[in-house]
Amino acid sequence: MEYKIGTNLLMLQETRFYFELSWDWFFHEMPKYWLPLFTGAMITSLFCGCTGYLSVQWFWRWHVLQRWRQRRHRK
């Protein structure tokens, strides 16, 4: 998914690759794919991080407002 996002953002041709867990693959094939993979991973992590942060902030605000309403009704 990150590779596809990176290739779309960088306007590169998406090529199909097969991962092989070896030093040979890492040193000879990875240089072709690292930039779109890195770009897509950074964009995905920023999106997920911001979404998580905003979700927690919203939930915390909602929780505090609920507590205030409960306190107001008890008095």
pLDDT in tens, 25-52: 888 888 888 899 899 999 999 999 999 9
| Torsion angle, alpha carbons of 22, 2, 39, 33, to 10 | 30
CB of 51 closer than 8 Å to CB of 22: no
Per-residue pLDDT band for 21 (boundaries 50, 70, 90) equals: confident
Classify the C-alpha dihedral 18-21-22-27 as positive or negative: positive
Domain carrying residue 26: 2-74
Total tally of structural domains belonging to the chain: 1
pTM here?
Answer: 0.72
Residue 14 clears pLDDT 90, i.e. is over it: no
